[in-house]
Structure 1
Amino acid sequence: MQVSSFLTALCIGLILGIIFDLFRVIRTTFHLHIIATSILDILYWIIALVIAFTLLIMSNWGEFRFYIFIGITLGGGLYYKFISRYMMQLFFQVVHVGNVFVFYTNKVVNNILIKPILSLTKIFLWLLRKVKKCCNFQKTKDEL
């Protein structure tokens, strides 16, 4: 029972490390203002608390013993020492791919939808002015 609780605590530390690195990548990529960074930090701690509490309830009915604290700390430390740099690279690659996807999607939407609609609008307005001028729909001074 204690061994499985300790292993669960190690996994909690690992999971919290992964989430922390994800938040680090978000902060680094988007150059967040101090208020947004503070909100993100609070969000991290809320998520960390929910994950840790849920997993501890599932594994050992929520008993928080000293070895649980050591397991979470050790899991986070091992993650940071051996895995963190690779996960950060992976997260940065995912963000890069996401940026490329958004860039090209924006270009496609702009070239397929926006530009043709703007061009058709310009043509329609030009034709409307021509029809108005041709049919003499302008009000004269007497009509005003």
Structure 2
Amino acid sequence: MFFSMKISKVSDEHFSNYNMLPNGNEEIDLFGLISVLWAAKIKIVGVILFFACIGFLVSFVLPQKWTSSAVVTPAESVQWSELNKELSKLHVLGVDFDINRDSAFALFIKKFQSVNSLNEYMRSSPYVMEIIKKNNISAL
């Protein structure tokens, strides 16, 4: 098999537009660099604005979806000892509290799962409101 290559002579005239440094000089011509950037300023600003617009459009078009989870555990003995110190100071003053770790944790869970907190979350969540609008459900 024979392969033929078509080689055409390309002119090197366009290379004269670039400032070629001598081989021994390893310095950067900062004025040359600034002049090249200044000459291309419109193209640079245009590219920056183009991608900034694309970024803004994407941020408005894509829905905001995120999930979050938390593990809530009762207070550890080290954390509870600080509260016990404060409660003992109040007990000396005659203020008596009937509270322990389990009852404090149960109270926290009860307050956290209150109907008002859930209702406030549902009204403020754009994801929930979007689902309500899609399914034609009357809002509370």
Q: TM-score, normalised by structure 1?
A: 0.30
Higher relative contact order (CA 8 A, sep 6+): 1
Q: TM-score, normalised by structure 2?
A: 0.30
Q: Computing the radius of gyration over CA atoms, which structure comes out larger, 1 or 2? A: 2
